[in-house]
Amino acid sequence: MIKWLCLAVCTAFLLSGCGRQGEDGQASQDSAKESDNLIVVGLSQVGSESDWRLANTRSYRETFTEENGYYLIFDDAQQKQENQVKAIRDFILQKVDYIVLDAIAETGWDAVLAEAKQAGIPVILSDRSVRVEDDSLYTSWIGSDFCRQGERAGIWLRDYLEEKGRAEEPINLVTLQGTLDSTAQLGRTEGFAKILEKQDNWTMLEQRTGEFVQAKAREVMEYFLETYPDIDVVICQNDNMAFGAIEAMKEQGKSYGKYGDIIVISFDAAEAALEAVRKGEINADFECCPDLGPLVDETIKKLEAGEEVEKIQYVEETYYD
């Protein structure tokens, strides 16, 4: 976890302890707010599809505590956008002070975010962004520069192949994409494509979604291995999908990683995946910081003080190989 304390985070906020927090809108946030002057936050989370997501939820729960001045109403959408829309409507009815949205997909938010705006509730996007006609429907987006992550992965691969004397060799790639239309999937795909399109000898055989989930990625990787006998590189748009891909490669007797045939690239750099990098099972892993709670907190505190906040706030990140 230590590794994942985002560089842009102010340490003062990390001192806040883990206290009791609101559960799923059951308790009366009105009384909590009135007696303690707490800021009521309605948070709509994507689900629990990956290690990254669990760490991200932990960060929110550890940040939005009563000790830190909050009453948290947390809703897990279980990977369904309609659940997120419903949660936002509930938050509006409950007159929360802020809505924090970690959007499953980028599109489909205009109507419900307009309802939040109408109700005068600021919406802060965390981790993933949205595509809406009117940008004033949200106050700020705090997350990763996913496009930069994808581009870095492409640059890393180009340099690695050059170092191995393979710069001119034909290279076949496949991609296990995340949830389609999510900011992480779109950005990582677009960023990598910027490098891919400049390499005449690289061929992207196929890109298919594994929905950021290990079991699904394993199935897709099995299909890739059966369909394409000569894969040189698998790009996994998160660590859990890299684990799924590794399971499929092991099962089919393929060698992979630093000491094998198929180069494995991943994103997130969760603890278990870093162990796989150390063992040489994953060649390179591009960090994505899940510890967004303190940054959202900082933004809310600024808004409470009547200060301006940046429309887009990117977190600084690195990579491991």
Structure tokens at 28: 């009366």
Contacts of ligand GYE in 30-89 (CB under 6 A): 49-50, 52-53
- Least spacing, CB of residue 190 vs ligand GYE, in Å: 15
Structure tokens at 125: 């996007």
Site string for ligand GYE, 143-182 (x = CB under 6 A): ----------------------------------------
Q: Is 211:178 a contact under the CB 8 Å cutoff?
A: yes
User: With the C-alpha atoms ordered 223, 177, 208, 260, is the resulting torsion angle positive or negative?
Assistant: negative
**What are the φ and ψ backbone dihedral angles of 171, each rounded to 5 degrees?**
-120, 125
Q: What number of chain residues touch ligand GYE (CB under 6 A)? A: 12
Among 62, 75, 97, 127, binds ligand GYE (CB under 6 A): 127
- Least spacing, CB of residue 268 vs ligand GYE, in Å: 5
- Least spacing, CB of residue 174 vs ligand GYE, in Å: 18
Q: Is 235:153 a contact under the CB 8 Å cutoff?
A: yes
| CA-based nearest residue to 177, from 157, 207, 203 | 207
- Comparing CB distances to ligand GYE, the nearer of 122 and 187 is 187
State the greatest distance between any 2 C-alpha atoms of the chain, in Å, as a whole number.
69
Site string for ligand GYE, 224-243 (x = CB under 6 A): --------------x-----
Please name the residue that has the structure tokens 């419900």: 112
As a whole number of angstroms, the distance between CA 56 and CA 45 comes to 9
- Least spacing, CB of residue 34 vs ligand GYE, in Å: 35
Q: Quick check: 212 binds ligand GYE (CB under 6 A)?
A: yes
Among 249, 288, 296, 303, binds ligand GYE (CB under 6 A): 288
Q: How many CB atoms lie within 10 A of CB 311?
A: 11
As a whole number of angstroms, the distance between CA 208 and CA 193 comes to 15
- Least spacing, CB of residue 306 vs ligand GYE, in Å: 31
Q: What residue ranges bind ligand GYE (CB under 6 A)? A: 49-50, 52-53, 127-128, 184, 212, 238, 267-268, 288
